[in-house]
Structure 1
Amino acid sequence: MRAFAELLDRLSLTSSRNAKLRLVRDYLRDTPDPDRGWALAALTGDLAFDAAKPAFIRKAVEERMDPQLFWWSYDYVGDLAETVALVWPRRPGANREPQLSEVVEALRTTSRAEVQRLIEGWLDAMEDPRERWALLKLMTRELRVGLTARLAKRAAAEMAQGFTVDPAEIEELWHALHPPYEDLFAWLEGRSEKPSAENPGRFRPAMLAQAIDEAVDFAKLDPADYAAEWKWDGIRVQLVHEGGVRRLYTRTGDDISRTFPDVVDALLEEGVIDGELLVLREGKVASFAELQQRLNRKSVDAKLVARYPAGIRAYDLMAEGAQDLRTLPFAERRKRLEAFVARQASPRIDLSPLQPFETWATLAALRAEPPAGDPQVAEGVMLKRWDSIYEAGRPKGPWFKWKRDPYLIDAVLMYAQRGHGKRSSFYSDYTFGVWTEGEDGGRVLTPVGKAYFGFTDEELKQIDKFVRDHTTERFGPVRAVIAEPHRGLVFEVAFEGLQRSTRHRSGVAMRFPRISRTRWDKPPGEADELATLDRMLAQMEGG
């Protein structure tokens, strides 16, 4: 565990992407099997333990120390693993520190009744708080070290000895591999042949678009070289029918087939479609809020399927039958996609229509006017070179996304909560509100959203100080702050859209809210009112 703990500690303290890449690459090169494989599985989110729950950790520490003292400590630190790692009262006589592979194997096979005993024994054996922290983060799947699964796989590709491996090759192989990936490392170290990717129903790495720089890119690009289509507001997916196996994957390769069996069954022919998962009713796209009713569920019943009929709006065709189409130009793939979708003849699979344009000015006007009847379900437009092949990753030039300008409002900070990881000592999660009429006819604030990014580290320190200096009430790790017409803090909040919500007191929910800037100069009484959001929502709905 010691080497893994040191890796996590250094990753959590490193902001540079390239430095993180080197740290993981060197760890994979220097660490023997199977420890490095289990570490890679943990870093890519492919390691889970059904029997290990945070409640067992809390119970273990509460039996070792005064529970009130622990909760005071937890309130101050703001992170369960970090708190327990620091306060754990070790008992002498414990066995040696466990290896990472020992921990993983034990947690994979143990029963829930044995978990607490294992936790106590391991924590007693570890002298360094960093090791205890790494152990608990591993168990709870909350590493939060600023490393994406894609970057971890890239690090694996870079450890190859004597030859070059494209990270896309690792992505292509991934669903045919299983932790602790000994066959993968044997290939990367030149000790065996490349593992086979011929796994029916496998995931193909997605091609992603670059954000366009209007001031720079349009001057260099020829509109005639590009096709345009709407960027729909759902989730990017890949629908696979191959070798008799059908799967539905997210953009990052998570299998969500069980949640959307109706979509999976709609693909009659063998092939691979790249598209957007949406709720579709008679060809019309419903709001993202309706799609959320079906996301993150292990299974769905017939009633939910009927109420929120999901489907795919197809962007691209990656394979048709046994033929891989990714090396064909987009223009050819598009023709084949149109014919392929037509043959499915399913209301669950339709085509994302191309949008004709001749100049960038024409495209700008199109981007400003979402499709009729779907006013808030198109986030912007996509641009794709007619001659572009389908490349994994985010190559510069072939595809661009041009999102609509975000909506902006001024809102008042109402509550602040401690963050996690590097932010566990700061109040970095902010709930904000706008003015509305209270029961007595006066103005009161009602919460409309929560955001935890959009500001610099220096701004975070300033906001954190404001929270500490202006706290009015405490609720565990949450603080209420002064929020009056002439005293308080105003945020300019940017967001992508609004939707009606019965779960929120205000009746509205924001899509992707973030702090655009802090309005130190503006008194809270001049912040926006709920009526402003109601008008925005009516415009989005076409009313």
Structure 2
Amino acid sequence: MNRFAELLDRLIFTPSRNAKVQLLKDYFADVPDPERGWAVAAITRDLEVKTLKPAAIKALVTSRVDPVLYDLSRDYTGDSAETAALIWPQKRGANYVPSLSEVIEELNETTKAEAPQLLERWLDALDPSGRWALIKLISGGLRIGVASRLVKVALAEYGGVEPQEIEELWHGLTTPYEELFAWLEGRAEKPVNAMRAPFRPVMLSHPVEELDKPKIDLSRMRKEWKWDGIRVQLVRDGDEARLYSRTGDDISGAFPDVIEGFPVDAAIDGELLIYDPLTTDRFKVRPFNDLQQRLNRKTVSAKMLKTHPAFVRAYDLLWAEGEDLRERTLDERRVRLEELLSEGRGRVDVSERIEASGWEELERMRSDPPIAAIEGVMLKLNDAPYLPGRPKGYWWKWKKEPYLVDAVLMYAQRGSGKRSSFYSDYTFGCWREGELIPVGKAYHGYTDQELKKIDKFVRDNTIDRFGPVRSVTANKEKGLVLEVAFEGLQRSPRHKSGVAMRFPRINRLRWDKPPAEADQLQVLENMLDAQGAAP
């Protein structure tokens, strides 16, 4: 367990991507099965292990230390696992350090009532770094800033294979990946039959900047709408069908209506959307908020299937009836796609091609699309193959300009990980009848230097504390105005403001602007009316 904790600690404090990959490769080489496989599963969040709720962990810690001291320490560190790891008083004589494998196996075999006793024994044996890793693992909060893709790259380099090979096998492998390591080390054949209907690494686009326009030949580009849904891959291979997110997560369970209605052997790249069930046009797209109601669910109710029906708007074909099409040109793939879907194939339709003579016409279309569920335009080179990653010059996205609003900072909370000592998560509000009403939260968009300045403002202007959250001075005479950028709005009865922002971020700090001149809530309500958001 201590070796795993050391790996996590070094990954967190290593900024270089290549250095992180080397750390992982060294770990794979030095640590035997099944320990290294369980570490991979934990980092990629593919580990299924019984967890303890934070309240149970806190109760265990405060049985050893004063609860007030714990609360004060938690407020200072900003992280429950770090607090528990540092404050835990060890018992003398506890010297057997468990391995990661033992922790996982014993957790999965124990009862809920016995789990706290196990955790107590392990905390006594581990050092602070090991305790932190254990608590993060056992609470389901292990987030160390290492993407699943990076782990797969490290595995590929370790075995001298292409990352794409790892990606296409991944969902057919079982933890702790002993068959994968056997292949990578030349001790066994490639597990080629690990899975039918595999995920195939996606091709990504680059945003269009002004400097890019002279380099883009619009006459050679297929132009399409950029839909405001989520990127998916719909795959059927015989009696096996799956729906994947862009990162390769299997989300089939939440969208059985899409899976069951797709009868052909193919792998389709497209956008997952929700259509309006009350219109004759079954593919009239609803706002992103409707799709959000169905995301992050393992199963979906019959009512939700009826009120929020899903479909895939297809724009590429990667594989069909046993043939890999990714090396063919986009034009060739699109002909096959349209042929495949010509008679209708359940909950799938084809993304339409749009025409524009030049950048000016394209700009008008981008800025004023026919419906709110369109967030811009896509440009794709007609003769481009389908390549994983983000190859330059093939695919471009030109999104609408973000919405902007001036809001006043109201509350701040400490971040986690590297930001645990800074107030980096911000709640901001707009004015309504002389009162600030919270309208959103953001925790990115600013530079490290700006973070330090905001943190100092929070500390110098705190007027109240609520655990790790600080309330700051925010009135018409004094406060910090934030220019907030966001991608869209939805009505939300769950929020006091009645609105919810999509992807809010701090665009810039308005030190020059008095809080009284920040925007009224009516500005956001007008935006809602303008974009035709559904209540």
Calculate the TM-score normalised by the size of structure 2: 0.96
Task: Name which of structure 1's ranges 492-501 and 181-190 shifts more when overlaid on structure 2.
Answer: 181-190
Which whole-Å CA distance do the structure 2 matches of 1:22 and 1:404 have between them? Answer: 39
In the alignment, residue 426 of structure 1 is paired with which amino acid?
F
Instruction: Say if 1:380 and 1:197 are closer, same or farther in 2 by CA, change over 3 A.
Output: farther
Unaligned runs of at least 5 residues, structure 1: 438-442
Deviation per CA, 1:123-146: give whole Å up to 9, x if none.
Answer: 1011x2111111112222322221
Query: Is this contact kept in 1: 2:51–2:139, CA < 8 A?
Result: no
1:535 to 526, 529, 533: 526
Match for 2:509 among 511, 518, 523? 518
Corresponding residue of 1:428: 424
Q: Is the 8 A contact 2:50 2:138 kept in 1?
A: no
Q: Residues 108-507 of structure 1 correspond to what in structure 2 (within 5 A)?
A: 108-126=108-126, 128-160=127-159, 164-197=160-193, 199-215=195-211, 217-281=212-276, 282=281, 283-346=283-346, 348-370=347-369, 372=370, 374-375=371-372, 377-437=373-433, 443-507=434-498
**Counterpart code for 1:159:** Y
- Which string of whole-angstrom CA distances, capped at 9 and with x for unpartnered residues, describes residues 350-392 of structure 1? 221111123233322221121x2x12x1121111111112222
Distance 1:316 1:242, change over 3 A: same
Contact 2:204–2:388 (Cα < 8 Å) also in 1: yes
Partner residue of 2:79?
Answer: 79
- Per the TM alignment, residue 341 of structure 1 is displaced from its structure 2 partner at its CA by 2.1
C-alpha displacement at 1:171, in angstroms? 0.5
Distance between the aligned counterparts of 1:542 and 1:80, measured in 2?
39
Q: Measured at CA, do residues 144 and 301 of structure 1 come closer, stay the same or move farther in structure 2, by a change above 3 Å?
A: closer
Question: Unaligned regions of 5+ residues in structure 2, if any?
Answer: none
- Tell me how large the CA RMSD over aligned residues is: 1.6
The alpha-carbon deviation at position 51 of structure 1 amounts to: 4.2
Matched AA of 2:312:
I
Give the Cα–Cα distance (whole angstroms) in 1 for the partners of residues 533 and 90 of structure 2: 63
Write the letter of the residue equivalent to 2:404.
L
Q: Distance in 2 between matches of 1:139 and 1:97?
A: 16
Whether the 8 Å contact between 1:472 and 1:479 is mirrored in structure 2 is yes
Contact map agreement 2:173 2:194 (CA 8 A) in 1: no
The aligned residue for residue 53 of structure 1 is 53
| d(CA) in 2 for partners of 1:166, 1:85 | 39
Q: CA deviation at 1:410?
A: 0.7
Residue 529 of structure 1 deviates from its aligned partner by 0.7
Indicate if the aligned counterparts of 2:269 and 2:314 stay in contact, CA closer than 8 A: yes
> 1:449-493 deviations in whole A, cap 9, x for unaligned?
100001111211111111111111111111111111110000010
Tell me by how many angstroms 1:232 deviates: 0.8
Partners of 1:56 and 1:115 within 8 A in 2: no
Q: 1:30 to 1:40 in 2, by over 3 A?
A: same
Is this contact kept in 1: 2:376–2:400, CA < 8 A?
Answer: yes
**1:218: how far off?**
1.9
Separation in 1, partners of 2:236, 2:35: 35
- The residue type equivalent to 2:251 in the other structure is I
Matched to 1:473, the amino acid is D
In 2, the alpha carbon distance for the partners of 1:327 and 1:508 equals 45
- Range that drifts further, 19-28 or 76-85: 19-28
Secondary structure class of the residue paired with 2:275: strand
Per-residue CA deviation, residues 144-192 of structure 1 (Å, 9 max, x unaligned), is 22111111111111112xxx42211111110121111122122222222
Look up the SS of the partner of 2:343 in the other structure.
helix
| Contact kept? 1:51, 1:111, Cα under 8 Å | no
Contact 2:287 2:533 in 1 (8 A): no
Quick check: 1:249–1:256 contact (8 Å CA) kept in 2?
Answer: yes
> 1:303-341: per-residue Cα shift (whole Å, max 9, x none)?
111111111111111222222222221111111111222
